[in-house]
Amino acid sequence: MSRIVLGVGTSHSPLLAIPPELWSDRAKDDLRKTELVLGDGRVLTYDELNTEVGARYRDRTTAEHFAQQYATAQAELDILARAVAEAEVDALIVVGDDQDELFVRAHLPLMAVYTGEEIITHPKNEVNPNLPDWYREANKGYRMDTVHRYPTDRKLADALVEGLVAEGVDVAIAGQVDDPVAAGFGHAFGFVMDRLGGGAQIPMVPIMLNTYFPPNVPRPARAWQIGEALAAAVAADGMDRRVAVVASGGLSHFAVDEDLDRRVLAALAAHDAATLGALDHRGLRSGNSEILNWIMTGGAMRGLSVVHQTYLPVQRTEAGTGVGLAFMLWAPNEESEHA
């Protein structure tokens, strides 16, 4: 049997892949937003949100504050990367979402496991040469500037598919990338390889959860259940792998909801499936939907405990648009170590 020896949660915001000098450029896009999903399920324009909050976050949008937050976030990513290196894992199971990168709307499963022989990223900068500077820089951190290739663990992927089916989870698979210019892996997976892989070619098993595109988005309780099934599938795979499970994305964005984010992090630390399962799915849309990746990963953390967590709300406009950056580590507890 394989073992989950590490759990990791990391945001993958563009703000983590671009210097703080470009954060204000990223913020300019927010001013044009016409559909900002709030944690309570309401949808507002930027102007409506700004009217409601009264420019409450203006003092957080200075260059000095951005620089401090960037430094803190990069230090957190360094902590996660060291944990991955020190765990000496044989494979990374990465739970992320696909946003018109590998899948198209014509074929969009609720969840898919990638069983191909290599991960190939979509070269978004080459396909769209007129992207803004901040976007092009972010795509470098997402490994979407050009085509990049990374190894997979195909045997583990196949075993996970069989194990998930045995646990009652209907699984779609993706078996290859035919033409990365047309469709390839995106930000949720390239960021993890670039920032947490530390240059090591750690085999990855991507699990793509459809969080962004209704109607076939899993409810929070189901995401947790699939995570539990994933842990069972790892334990029953008949191999001997040291595995890390990584949640990629989140937390709340594009309108930061600190209360929602802190409730999610506290519930994950407490293994509180009931609280997570009861979250209003209407508030888990758009960027907020990536919280589902964390909930699924939390469900897989049977026998592990949270040993590190940091939350960094980044309001990049006076109305409070931005991202709730979060970083978390789970490690085996003493009982599981001796099981």
DSSP structure string for 93-140: EEEE--SSSS-BTTB--SEEEE-SSEEEB--HHHH-TT--HHHHHHHH
Share of the chain above pLDDT 70, in %: 98
Q: How much is the pLDDT for 325? A: 98
3-state SS class at 324:
strand
* Chain segment 243-289, per-residue pLDDT in tens: 999 999 999 999 999 999 999 999 999 999 999 999 999 999 999 99
- Is the pLDDT score of 294 beyond 90? yes
Tokens of 201: 């070619």
Nearest 5 degrees, angle CA 217-CA 97-CA 57?
A: 95
- Is the pLDDT score of 336 beyond 80? no
Nearest to 255 by CA among 37, 97, 95: 37
Residue type, 251: L
Tokens of 12: 């993958």
- Is the pLDDT score of 198 beyond 90? no
Q: How much is the pLDDT for 338? A: 41
Q: How much is the pLDDT for 106? A: 84
* Chain segment 55-106, per-residue pLDDT in tens: 899 999 999 999 999 999 999 999 999 999 999 999 999 999 999 999 988 8
The CATH number assigned to the domain with range 3-333 reads 3.40.830.10
Residue 93 phi, psi dihedral angles, 5° rounding? -95, 115
- Is the pLDDT score of 194 beyond 90? yes
pTM: 0.96
The answer for residues whose C-beta is within 8 angstroms of residue 311's C-beta and 6 or more apart is 251, 261, 262, 265, 324, 325, 326
Q: What are the CA-CA distances from residue 296 to residues 50, 97, 134, 184 (Å)?
A: 33, 12, 31, 23
- Is the pLDDT score of 199 beyond 90? no
Across the chain, mean pLDDT equals 95
3-state SS class at 229:
helix
Return d(Cα 68, Cα 102) in angstroms, integer.
35
CB 164 within 8 A of CB 99: no
Confidence grade of residue 137 (pLDDT, cut at 50, 70, 90): very high
